[in-house]
Structure 1
Amino acid sequence: MVEDETDQVTLDLEQFEETKKEDTKPTLGDIFTDRVESLMKHRDIDNVLDDQQHILNNLEMMNEKLKFLNLISQSRYEASVTAFRFHMRLLSGVKKDLDSVFRRIRTLKTKLGVQYPEIMAEVQDKYTVHVSDDDDDE
């Protein structure tokens, strides 16, 4: 008996929709929608939606890969900066040490030149190094 009532309601609903369609004139929106639907096949729309979903999945995957790459790059950059700072301090120390050594050598040369002027003149003539203008020495 319940089935009979359900069937009856379904039939009444279908009849109502048919009479409603017959009684009212289609609006411009209905006409436009019907024509667009007639131009496009549902299979084509499903294909477009599938392609869009595939592209979205690819973009999300690439976004995750880029996030991972950025994390790796950040950690390597920080390690490089730390190593660079260490090497800069090391080079600064070496430069100070070399400056000190050359200053001492110049001081010793001056003292020896004062104490032994003839010998220093001979040594300078014999072991003089010709420095070109291209060198960036002091």
Structure 2
Amino acid sequence: MSATSDRLTDDSTESIQRQSSDKCTKSGDTFIHLVSNLVEDNHVMTINDSQINMLSRFEKTNEMLVNCNALAVIRFESANRDLKRYTQQLVDLQKDLDSVFHRIKFLKLKLTQQYSQAFKDCGNVFNPFNEEEEEINEDLKDLSIN
């Protein structure tokens, strides 16, 4: 008996569920039908066409932005390489100039030691160390003004 009562309970539960889903489907269909009657078909088609048009425009814009981004990456890499190369050149030039200035300073010292009498005689007219100090001071003043 219990097996029969279980079957009856299962059958009744299934029939209630079917009736309720049929009612939901019917009420859902009714709702959709009522809403579709409120909106005219030509308005829906106009909205759909406008959305398709906007989608194609967005896709074209997106493609152009992707191309622009790719070009920007290529130019950035090129500019970055150039910047590194120019920076290295400037560092090398600075080293070379420092070397030249040190050589000049060494030569001035050597000449001063070898020809000290000549430098003493010309001391009032030309003193390489005083002139060099004046140039450095003028350069520092120019830098501080700018």
TM category (shorter chain) comes to: 0.5 to 0.7
When residues 78 and 104 of structure 1 are mapped into structure 2, their CA distance, relative to the original with a 3 A threshold, is: same
Q: Which moved more, 1:96-105 or 1:68-77?
A: 68-77
Aligned-pair distance for 1:31? 2.6
Partner of 1:84: 83
Task: Map residues 6-25 of structure 1 onto 2, 5 A cutoff.
Answer: none
| Secondary structure class of the residue paired with 1:27 | helix
Which structure 2 residues correspond to residues 93-132 of structure 1 after superposition, within 5 A?
A: 93-114=92-113, 115-116=115-116, 117-119=119-121, 121-122=123-124, 123-124=126-127, 128=131, 129=134, 131-132=137-138
Deviation at 1:36, TM superposition (A): 0.9
What stretches of structure 2 of length at least 5 have no aligned partner? 1-22
CA 1:106–1:119: 2 relative to 1, 3 Å:
farther
Counterpart in 1 of 2:38? 39
- How far the C-alpha of 1:63 sits from its partner, in A, is 1.3
TM-score, length of structure 1 as denominator length:
0.68
Q: 1:104 to 1:47 in 2, by over 3 A?
A: same
Aligned residue pair count:
111
In the other structure, the counterpart of 2:64 is: 65
Deviation at 1:135, TM superposition (A): 5.6
TM-score by length of 2: 0.64
Sequence identity (%): 27
| Deviation sequence 1:59-113 (CA, Å, 0-9, x none) | 1111111111122112211221221122122112111110001101111222233
Q: Whose helix fraction is larger, Structure 1's or Structure 2's?
A: 2
Structure 1: 5+ residue runs without aligned partners? 1-23
Question: More relative contact order in 1 or in 2 (CA 8 Å, sep 6+)?
Answer: 2
